Structure formats: C-alpha cells, structure tokens
Structure 1
Amino acid sequence: MTSTMPAAPARRIRRLPDRQTTDRFALHELLDSELVGHLAVAVDGVPVVVPMGYARVDGHVVVHGSTGGGFALRAASARLPVAFSVTALDGLVYARSLFDSSMNYRSATIQGVLEPVPADETDDALLALSERLMPGRTAEVRGMRRKEVAATRVLRLALDDVVMKQRSGGPSEEPDDGEDHTNWAGVVPLERRWGTPVPSGLTPEGTPVPDSVIALTTRSPRSDILG
C-alpha cells in the first residue's frame, strides 16, 4: 500500500487547496480516531444521510445493519454510489475578526459502492467493528448466536476514492496586519473524555465495573494543542 492517495481531478479541492492532503497515513489516523461517520445516498431521487458507527479494516470502512431493510442495504443491493464522511473537530481558532476565525479539523469523504463482506470474513469484520467501538468487551460477554449473525448484514466501502482536508495551527496574523494585537487571539483545543459509567436498571448493586469499561474511562483523552 502506498503512502499517498490518488486525487482525481473532479475531487480536487478548489477552495484553499493547500488544506487537502493525500497522506494515506493521515487518513488512517483520522478514521481510527473517530467512532461515527455519515453515510449518504440518493434513494428514489431523495438524498438521505444517516450517522453510523464504523471501523476501518485495512483498506475498507466497515459498517453493518439489519438484513430486514434500511437504505444502506438497498443501496448495496442496487450498487448505488454512496458517500461516507468522517470529521474530527480539534479546536476553535479565535482570530481578531469573525471573518478570519476558523476551526482546526480533519475531514474525509469516501465515495464508492458498498459491497457485502464475504461470508467467510463476516465474523472477523463484526469482531473488528465491536473491538473498535468497545475495546475488550468481546471477551466479557457471550458470543454472537448464529441467528444474530444471520440477521446482520456487514458492508464495506473501499478507501479508493477519498478526499481529505485538514487545518491546524493558530489564526492567520502578521505583525503589520493592522489589527489590534492587544485583543486576544489563539486556539481553544477541543478535548473529549468518557464520563462515569452508569449501570443498567437490572445490574445488581455492587456488580464490578468490567475491565473494558475501566480501560475506556481511564484512557488519557486526546489533547492536541495546535498552533
């Protein structure tokens, strides 16, 4: 796998093109840091966007849904083109004017056709998805029953047609830009952390919090102070 992603002419960013990146490792870092993406498709001429949990498995984004229906499954069956978008907000950029204020972010939009994961790879794909969303939980609960697997359809989207854009650093400023530099400007980084676990209503009092939950809630939050 090469370290760069090809950029088709139709996908090149025209507005602030210097913020586009073709670094495949930056794409993987973004996809591996987030949990939710937005899947878009036109169904019967109507655009539909649905947030979905996902996981990156090698060169694909993997999602899942019920075999009972859903626009994603219909799109997969009809091989309709879809778009899947993931965004990470890293901070707010406070400039000395609202016009120059901005955000620090990383975003990627993947276009292509959803394909069913082959039957002999389904279990591994579901395991990868579970471990991405709830690391370590698989070892603490019962395994999936065959009827549950049969009721679940696993789809994947190749990371072949991707546009990624990002911004980092502080506000644009120059010593002679005519602004009042006594007015504060800078970056407010966004930090996210998990809260205190809340047991379900049927969990007996005193039941120990499992290791997977402890590991999740005590993990150091990502804190990128950019600029």
Structure 2
Amino acid sequence: MESAMPVPAPQDTATAYEPTGRTVPTRARERASYDRATVHAILDASYLCHLGFVRDGAPVVLPTLYARVGEALYVHGSTGSRPLREAGRPDPGLAVCLTVTHVDGLVLARSAFHHSINYRSVVVHGTAHQVTDPAEKRTALDALVDQVVAGRSADSRPANAKELAATAVLRLDLAEVSAKSRTGGPNDDPEDLGLPHWAGVVPVAPAYGAPVPAGDLAPSVALPGYLSA
C-alpha cells in the first residue's frame, strides 16, 4: 500500500489557499498552484465548468455555467433537478467537485509518449448549498449572465418572480482549491532529438465571430458596445 501523500507546508492564507490531501496532485506537483490571484484569473477567464457529484451511488458530471463572486462560485439549474434539491438541504448539502479547464496549446513531440497539452485548470472541492436569500440570488444570476458577456445583465430584462421561482442557484465557497497548468514545448528524450519528426506547439485560443442579430430584432436597436468591442 502506498504511504500517505505529504501535504506542502501551510501558506499565507491571505494570498494562497491552504493545500489539502485532495488538492495536492499525485503527479507533476511542480505545476500546482494555490495562489489566489492565479486561481481567480483562471476562473474569471471562462464561464463553463464541469460539476461532479454522486447520485444514487454513481458518479455524475454535468457541464454548466458558473460565475465567481469574491470567494464563492455560483451555478444554476432547475429547481426540479435532483442534485439541486439535495443541495437545498441545510445539512449536509451536496458534496461536489467543480473543475474549469483552458486548453492553450497542442504539444507535439517526436515520440507519441511525450505528446501533451498546454493548459490552465482549477479544481474546487466542497459542499454546495442552495442560495435562499433573494438578494444573493439576484446577484448570483446577474453574475452568471455577466460571466458569459460582461455588461449583459444591465442590458437585459432581469428575471421575474416566476422565473426566479423556477431557478435554483448553488453556492460553492472557494476553500479547498488548487490550480494546475502546463506551459512550454515538448519534453522529448535526448535520444529522440534527431528523429525526422516535426515537434513544437500548436497554439489554441477561443474565437468569436461577428454577432448575428435575431431575425425579429428591430432595426433601431444598435449593436451594444460590449459586443462591438
């Protein structure tokens, strides 16, 4: 049996999250970071996460939108969803693992074994609880809209009472958190450097096309500045 994995020494909690047995990777530990600014930057640069939990004894992973507000992440869904109903229980809530990943490059090596990906990722462990405070719920829903397109919540009709009643919001506090990333080129073995195979990195980045107006949009409604930018 493997021995218990050592946990790094405590860090300054004002600038870094405390490493735990669940947030210390078993491989490539030098790529891990617990720095708050690093974690926040990775989270703020996206809007799609994968939320994992256990349902009826089996693992479930769902893609969903998220938003960060301070030291909390918010996700939303239907009030009829079983996991959201379970998270609505005050005790113990819903144990989850939330992940966010950016792919920054395809790393092509001379050997198949050393092919890799340049990436930035965050993993959050914790217990999610349903948001019941109306003001916090509205803040979370505005943040979810703005996470996708900054400035959009102020340029759209807010949810009405019926829509709010049909929507559940989960809060997951950022406490047990780690970031991990890879940068740079391939790590070929010295004996493979002379092989006649191209090696390097193919950069990967999201691309957005020109906004396409709805077919029933009034001609007088101009493209907002946050989209034209």
| TM-score normalised by length of structure 1 | 0.84
Q: Partners in 2 of 1:157 and 1:83 — Cα distance?
A: 10
Q: Which amino acid aligns with 1:27?
A: V
SS at match of 2:187: coil
Kept in 2, the 8 Å contact 1:41–1:75? The answer is no
| Runs of 5+ consecutive residues of structure 1 not aligned to the other structure | 216-227
Runs (5+) with no aligned partner, structure 2: 1-12
- Tell me whether 1:172 sits opposite 2:187 in the alignment: yes
Q: Please, what is the CA RMSD of the aligned residues?
A: 2.1
Q: Is the contact between residue 55 and residue 61 of structure 1 (CA under 8 Å) also seen in structure 2?
A: yes
Counterparts of 1:77 and 1:208, CA distance in 2 = 41
Q: Does 1:52 align with 2:64?
A: yes
Q: Structure 1 residue 100: deviation in Å?
A: 1.0
Identity of aligned residues (%): 40
For residue 10 of structure 2, what is the aligned residue in structure 1? Answer: none
* Alignment match, 1:62: 74
- Please say if residues 56 and 62 of structure 1, whose CA atoms lie closer than 8 Å, have aligned partners that are also in contact: yes
| Counterpart position of 1:71 | 82
Distance 2:120 2:84 in 1: 28
Q: Is 1:91–1:188's contact at 8 Å kept on the other side of the alignment?
A: yes
Q: How does 1:135-154 map to 2 (within 5 A)?
A: 135-154=150-169
Is the aligned partner of 1:156 residue 2:168? no
One-letter identity of the residue aligned with 2:105: G
Q: Which amino acid aligns with 1:9?
A: G
Q: Structure 1 residues 80, 116: CA separation in 2 closer, same or farther (over 3 Å shift)? A: closer
Q: How does 1:207-218 map to 2 (within 5 A)?
A: 207-215=221-229
Alignment partner of 1:190 is 2:201: no
For residues 30-83 of structure 1, what are the alpha-carbon distances to aligned partners after superposition, in whole Å with 9 as ceiling and x for unaligned?
10001100111111112211111111110011111222x113313303413111
| Deviation readout 1:12-43 (Å, 9 max, x if unpaired) | 21112211111221111110001100111111
Q: Which of 15, 40, 44 is matched with 1:32 structurally?
A: 44
Q: Note if 1:100 corresponds to 2:114.
A: yes
Partner Cα separation in structure 1 for residue 25 and residue 199 of structure 2: 28
Distance verdict in 2 for CA 1:180–1:71, change over 3 Å: farther
On the 8 A contact 1:3/1:23 being kept in 2, the answer is yes
Q: Is 2:29 the counterpart of 1:17?
A: yes
Question: What TM-score do the two structures reach when normalised by structure 2?
Answer: 0.84
| Letter in structure 2 aligned against 1:121 | E
Partner Cα distance (2:127, 2:22) in 1: 17
**Contact 1:75 1:114 (C-alpha < 8 Å) held by counterparts:** no
1 CA distance for matches of 2:148 and 2:22? 33
Instruction: Provide Cα deviations, 1:85-120, integer angstroms capped at 9, x if missing partner.
Output: 111101011111111111100112211111123333
